[in-house]
Amino acid sequence: MKNVLTIAENEFSMLARNPIVIIFGILMLVMAIINAAGFSSIVSDTNSSDHTGNLMAGISNFFWNFSALFAFLAMCIGITSVADERSKGSLRVLFGKPLYRRDVITGKFVGINLFMFLLIAFTLAIFISLMITLYAGPESIIDLSLRMLMFAVLLFINCSFTLGLVMCLGILLNKSEALVISLAFISFEWLTNIGSLPDSLGNLQLINPGYLYVYAMYMASGKLLNGSVPLDSWLSGSLPYIVLMVAEVILMVLVNCMLFNREEA
């Protein structure tokens, strides 16, 4: 456990200095300012007194792009964490230390995920704070905070699966192949706005992490980003899909540990 935490801490520290992360942070700050200014202008023209409803509608407007960009960031980090380090041979340095190979892959996964969650929460807080500053606050700041926390958790779980999948590709393939397949996955899930498998496949849609994410957010007993839907009602309907999302992430981590042990043996 100590080895896992040490590797996780090292991975977290490297990500904080990663140029990709720095550029991404600047991009999200610019988007937050533009989104808040545009939202404030549009809502002010409507003369609506439903501040909570307007605010949630504004949040819904950036939901898709916000989710897609973080999924893309998870892909970039996953590529540099495994496939890029393998191609450079830097992973071999860790093998000279008294470490289990599963500790290496688990530590990287934990460190990256901790960083991703904090980045998601921090960026989401900036988006919401700017919207409230330029427009108006919700009727209940506690309800809004809980909804945004759940938003952050769901996006984090979805990004965790994307990270796990890209790390798996980095273990099995060379850097170029892993990058191409990862880009194809991200394009399918987000850029083409295809959130599920064909309806003819029925319940097999549940193996699609993007489908689970969107369904948990929007298509269960009510929308998370709809202030008129009670939060407990949304959670009770979405909980089975959240559990499936977490199960897919755990399975991906176990698969990665098994493959990494065999591949480097």
227: nearest Cα among 3, 25, 57: 57
pLDDT > 70 in the chain, percent: 76
DSSP code at position 227: T
Q: Which long-range contacts (CB under 8 A, 24 or more apart) does 25-29 make?
A: 25/119, 25/123, 27/69, 28/69, 28/123, 28/126, 29/126
Burial-class residue 182 by CB neighbours within 10 Å (0-12, 13-18, 19+).
buried
Q: Is 145 left (phi over 0), alpha (psi -120 to 50) or beta?
A: alpha
- Of 225 and 180, more confident: 180
User: pLDDT category, 111, cuts 50, 70, 90?
Assistant: very high
pLDDT exceeds cutoff 50 at 196: no
52-100, pLDDT tens digit by residue?
A: 666 777 677 777 888 889 989 999 898 888 777 766 666 655 555 556 7
| Three-class SS state of 137 | coil
> What rounded mean pLDDT belongs to the chain?
79
When pLDDT is averaged across residues 42-59 and rounded to a whole number, the result is 62
pLDDT at position 68, please? 86
pLDDT at position 198, please? 53
pLDDT at position 265, please? 45
198-228, pLDDT tens digit by residue?
A: 555 555 556 677 778 888 887 654 577 776 7
Give residue limits of the domains in the chain.
Answer: 2-263
118-153, pLDDT tens digit by residue?
A: 999 999 999 888 888 776 666 678 888 888 899 999
pLDDT at position 70, please? 92
Q: Say which range, 112-116, 160-164, 178-182, has the weakest mean pLDDT.
A: 178-182
